[in-house]
Amino acid sequence: MTSTGIRLHAPAPGWSIDADVVVVGSGVAGLTAALRCEAAGLTTVVVTKARLDDGSTRWAQGGIAAALGEGDTPEQHLDDTLVAGAGLCDEEAVRILVTEGPDAVRRLIATGAQFDESTDGGLELTREGGHHRRRIAHAGGDATGAEISRALVEAVRASGRGEREALSAEGGGGRRAGMRIIENALVLDLLTDAEGRTAGVTLHVMGEGQHDGVGAVHAPAVVLATGGMGQVFSATTNPAVSTGDGVALALRAGAEVSDLEFVQFHPTVLFLGPDAEGQQPLVSEAVRGEGAHLVDGDGVRFMLGQHELAELAPRDIVAKGIMRRMREQDAEHMYLDARHFGAEMWERRFPTILAACRAHGIDPVTGLVPVAPAAHYASGGVRTDSHGRTTVPGLYACGEVACTGVHGANRLASNSLLEGLVYAERIAADIARTGLRARVPQPLPTAERPAHPLLPPEARLAIQRIMTRGAGVLRSEASLAEAADRLHRLHADARDALDENGKTAEPGVDTWEATNLLCVARVLVAAARRREETRGCHWREDRPERDDTAWRRHIVVRLNPDRSLAVRTTDTTDFPPTLTQAQEQ
């Protein structure tokens, strides 16, 4: 592993905390990892960008998939996942997911999560796209993520304490058993020791009433669970905090990322107009699972005949079907027809979606729901092995920020919450098994001028529009080349201003987020240009066929010290090991 030496321009840390493990993120993956690490006796710090319950998990409507129903088996779940992944899933990673998944869900229930039950007292299981069986457990009808988040947040708060209390009790340093919680904190960069191993993170705590909120958590193990990067596009289902911070941090630390071109666009996002930007309301796949139909403006069910599962085909197929029909009819959206559900079913099964629709003047009980694809989930991310280890010793990743190999070229519906659970537990077990040695971080260089340029806050909107236009659902060499050129100009202008006169945007949350977004956007476009085929949720108009001979491979990217990208293609579908035997010691 070679460190890039690149860090975000930020003030020097003014305080520090020591711990065994720092978990960055508070979704299902982060909180599960934190709880399991604490249960193993590890002093654990949870750092989250907003409040504990403000991540993507709380927005998950559909549910969590696991072979929990009568007649269902992990093998059947594995088969559905492999089909959805379009030839790029790591079969062993998927087997781990589906085999360990049912017990992981039961442990989640034991933690306090309350799922909807059928009349006989068992779990009420539903079906979603790509699944041949009812295996989706849900809560509150369509509020599964909110319930899971509630249960995990309560468990963490019961065992944790706030950052102010921790600093007050210890004078800003030292160690003490238990879990510490630092909310409203943006993690900046990874700290490493003289051998390049993880030694903690730097972070900026917001709203502390101080000009300098930058501090450090010193820890020999760091778990990235920062979620997705949906804010790289104009319209997304992701919350505003999903700015790719974990992927950008990992790249600056020298870690490899893989398959970032596979961004899943959810087929049915409530259409709020052609100029709508930011987080958009999701219309869960479970609505189609319960029998809603996709229709065009003439009322024709256009998915019939396109796939054996019609509206319940894997998400990439449904998104492409919608986009094709939109292009054929020069339409801005299609429609979801669930009028036959009736008011009682809408109110009982999908109260959140019903309220969102009505808030925008749409009543799905009596009318059609306008829908169009929007950025939803990153199937790729920071490359890990089956224990969540990245290519940087001591740095782990799980959840949407990670690329475990489970999702391949297209995530199967409701596998994301399960992946967060299963691989977070495996990470905690590996950290506990390995044993931790405190590491002294290398001193942060005090440069006369910033080493890495920051973008102004307004660059965020420019990046989103570039990506939506050039690297959205439909891509081509021409559109990707234009996006790459425009992103490079943003990067080069900031770099040249820094190199020529030492000027860069002022450090702050807005500028750090914009800089992170540019980093992940450049990687995504580079990977999408390299993959000259259509596969899963990567749709190249100029390369419409899937090419297993040339492209049943993974694309791996890392950041060079000069800020350029090193892009390579693996020789086979198998990932090389993340760490050497010497690094594992």
**pTM of the prediction?**
0.91
What is the reported pLDDT for 585? 53
Cα within 13 Å of Cα(131), Cβ side: 31
Query: pLDDT grade, residue 176 (50/70/90)?
Result: very low
Q: What is the pLDDT of residues 428-453, one digit of tens each?
A: 999 999 988 888 898 887 655 666 78
H or E segment to which residue 186 belongs: strand 185-192
383 in Cβ contact with 556 (< 8 Å): yes
Cα dihedral across residues 475, 478, 484, 489: positive or negative: negative
H or E segment to which residue 377 belongs: strand 369-378
Q: Tell me the two tokens of residue 255.
A: 């870690």
Which residue has better confidence, 199 or 119? 199
| Start-to-end CA span in the chain (Å) | 14
What is the reported pLDDT for 247? 98
pLDDT of 513 strictly over 90 = yes
Max distance between CA atoms of the chain, in angstroms, equals 72
Q: Tell me the two tokens of residue 464.
A: 């989103």
Q: What is the pLDDT of residues 101-144, one digit of tens each?
A: 999 999 999 999 999 998 888 899 998 888 999 999 999 888 88
Pairing between β-strand 221-224 and β-strand 395-397 as defined by DSSP bridges: parallel
Q: What is the pLDDT of residues 388-399, one digit of tens each?
A: 999 999 999 999
Convert 316-353 into a string of H (helix), E (strand) and C (coil). HHHHHHHHHHHHHHCCCCEEEECHHHHHHHHHHHCHHH
% of the chain exceeding 70 in pLDDT: 93
Residue 439 forms beta bridges with which residues? none
**Rounded Cα gap, residues 82 and 65, in angstroms:** 14
Choose among 107, 47, 66: nearest CA to 426: 107
Active site residues: 315
CB environment 457-471: b (16+ within 10 A), e (fewer): bebbebbbebbbebb
Q: What is the pLDDT of residues 266-323, one digit of tens each?
A: 999 999 988 888 889 999 888 998 999 999 999 999 999 999 989 988 888 898 899 8
Residue written as token pair 């269902």? 72
What is the reported pLDDT for 292? 96
